[in-house]
Amino acid sequence: MPPWSTIDTIMFDMDGTLLDLHFDNYFWLNLVPTMYSRAHGVSEENAREIIRGKYAEVHGTLNWYCIDYWEDELQLDIAELKTTIKHKICVRPNVEKLLQELQRNNKRLLLITNAHPSSLKIKMDHTGIGDYFHKRISSHSLKLAKENHGFWESLQEIQSYEPERTLLFDDSVPVLRQAKREGIRHLYGIKQPDSQRPPLTPNEFPLIEDFNNIMPSQSDSE
């Protein structure tokens, strides 16, 4: 249980934290190879091999998350493709309930995502959860991915926060580790980011299985 009374700012990752990661895994691992195969006249098996190589080249960099980069690299309309399966975008269980409780407790809520601004817009428009947040920030605005050195310090320039009184929820261990290096005190991972895949192996960060289990109403902030 987070010590809510000692926390002022709560930062949420989007994909795999607020939203089910199944949408993104299906999109990048299934739909994109299929469409690449059709567009470039190669077998789906070859398309998967080609795309896996391209993914590996930029994993962990901002380009990994950049729609503009992938549209140029793959010669596909990535943004449009995402809209064709937007029905697969799902808010994780009890997310809205937690956001509502945190609002009632006067916490400052920030959405901090590596997603490209166009992806952020598609998902906020579809789910309607964007209005819960004081600010929604794409890492593209800082030209750094969240797992990159200096991201969390750079974030202070556009959204000041006190690291000792800040909590971050994120399904990425590299992101959580970088946030820890840069002083954010309260760090929580997500046990099962993709509802269609097995839960993550326990690591050095506590993993949230259900947001309903950490409601402020159950803690010392009441």
User: Amino acid identity of 100?
Assistant: Q
- Domains by residue range for the chain, with CATH: 4-21+90-218 (3.40.50.1000), 23-87 (no CATH)
Enter the tokens of residue 57. Answer: 């080249």
* Strands in the chain per DSSP E: 9-12, 108-113, 135-138, 166-169, 186-190, 207-208
Q: Which of 195, 205, 138, 126 is nearest to 167 (CA)?
A: 205
Report the 10 Å Cβ neighbour count for 222: 10
**What pTM value is reported for the model?**
0.94
Sign, CA torsion 116/203/214/153? negative
Burial label, 1 (beta-carbon count in 10 A; 0-12, 13-18, 19+) = exposed
Structure confidence by residue, pLDDT tens digits, 40-90:
999 999 999 999 999 999 998 999 999 999 999 999 999 999 999 999 999
Structure confidence by residue, pLDDT tens digits, 98-139:
999 999 999 999 999 999 999 999 999 999 999 999 999 999
